[in-house]
Amino acid sequence: MPIAPRIALIAASVLLVAALAAGIYLLAIPALTDDGDGPPAPPVAVKDDEPEAAEELGFPAFATKNTTRVGGGDPTADAAGVALATYPSTGGVDRAAAVTLVPSTDWAAGIAASVLASDPIGTPLLLSDRDEVPEPTETAVDTLSPEGSPETADAQVFRIGEVRAPADLRATDVAGADPATIADGVDKLRQRLTDREPAHIVLVSSEDPAFAMPAAAWAARSGDPVLFVDRDRVPEPTIAALKRHEKASVFLLGPDTVASEKVLSEVENVAPAVQRVSGEEPVSNAIAFARFNGGSFGWNITDPGHGLTIASASRPLDAAAASPLSASGKWGPLLLTESADAVPAAMRGFLLDIKPGYSTDPTRAFYNHAWLIGDSSAMSVGFQAQIDDALELVQIETGLVPQDRAGAPESQPRR
């Protein structure tokens, strides 16, 4: 049987099972039309040294009871998978009105453009190249079939930076030769489309992507624009945007090692209020942002019952690729790992702190769920199993502090 029909048949009948002789190839998100004739979603590879039988089933590499993986070998494939997960584009449901394309080599453009995934624009974000459209992106665009809408000013595609789009789509372009200029242009586009002043602005490093990555999820969730600062100065396009939004509260994401106190002082000269949210390294920085409560700003994740997204700090464009997951479905922050094999201690502590529990009836409990972005080179199947265990619902006995399976004390789940 040809591979495409085989994938379609198996995906429709048993959720996800696709194996080839050279290894397992998982269709991250099946994208099928009602009659089965639509183009399949781009295949993405998930390989690991797991038993052969488990590989052939696709589990746990694709999903466990508390996790789902978008297992692309690179951010381009991840973005296509996320786009088709957030906009299945079949069964008569609404399609995405437009898509946003960013360069596959420009993490800063991707993070800035993530704000276009927010309501009411709501575009999935895809990656492309200067001279050609990668096959996963082209397949995703064909499946999504964007038609434009009043919310997108009839554009079918937003091109951010120098990037090729599929032919015959009405495009709106945002140009710029550096992160600050592109971010300023994206913000102007956002404001023109929504006719809405932002309540908040997020400033991130233009030089250290791992500290900037968590801003992509928040921009998609909130519609707050992301602007860039250098380590010791604030670029002119960022100053111009801050002056344009003089009533917005400003939050600087990252420690003084990536954005110095001099930067903070320069921002305070033009902004009404500036507050730093930070951790000393990328993992703790992302957790600090996930926990942060600034009133109407911040995720304020301190209790169970949440969606989470986890990406590798070494793949910054995965933050942009995954951002639509924070704007719908199981809305939640982006967490980072610097290890492909072991859950960082800070992340494990955070997950145990928000671990869900129940007293008598598990069907009335709160639940946590995590999306993992990337193949096993980004996060191994063992890593996924550790995340699943940390998210697992546990029964709480009155007066006792629950323990995880390794015997470590957990924080009492909050209600």
| Amino acid in the structure at residue 52 | E
Q: Residues 121, 126, 127, CA angle at the centre, nearest 5°?
A: 140
The predicted model scores a pTM of 0.84
* Six token digits for residue 124: 């999935």
Q: Residues 86, 312, 376, CA angle at the centre, nearest 5°?
A: 85
Q: What pLDDT shows up at residue 56?
A: 55
| Average of per-residue pLDDT values in the chain | 85
Alpha-carbon gap, residue 188 to 9, rounded angstroms: 45
The confidence band for 245, taking pLDDT boundaries of 50, 70 and 90, is very high
pLDDT digits (tens, 9 = 90+) for 161-184: 999 999 899 999 999 999 999 999
Alpha-carbon gap, residue 77 to 126, rounded angstroms: 9
Burial of 14 (0-12, 13-18, 19+ CB in 10 A): exposed
Q: What pLDDT shows up at residue 52?
A: 54
pLDDT digits (tens, 9 = 90+) for 248-258: 999 999 999 99
Is 312 in a helix, a strand, or coil? strand
Helices 345-353 and 282-291, packing angle to 10 deg: 20
The confidence band for 217, taking pLDDT boundaries of 50, 70 and 90, is very high
Q: If we measure between CA atoms, which residue out of 367, 208, 353 comes closest to residue 280?
A: 208
Residues 216-235 have a mean pLDDT of 98
Residue 291: pLDDT above 60? yes
Q: What pLDDT shows up at residue 398?
A: 58
Alpha-carbon gap, residue 323 to 310, rounded angstroms: 11
β partners of residue 68: 63, 371
The confidence band for 61, taking pLDDT boundaries of 50, 70 and 90, is confident
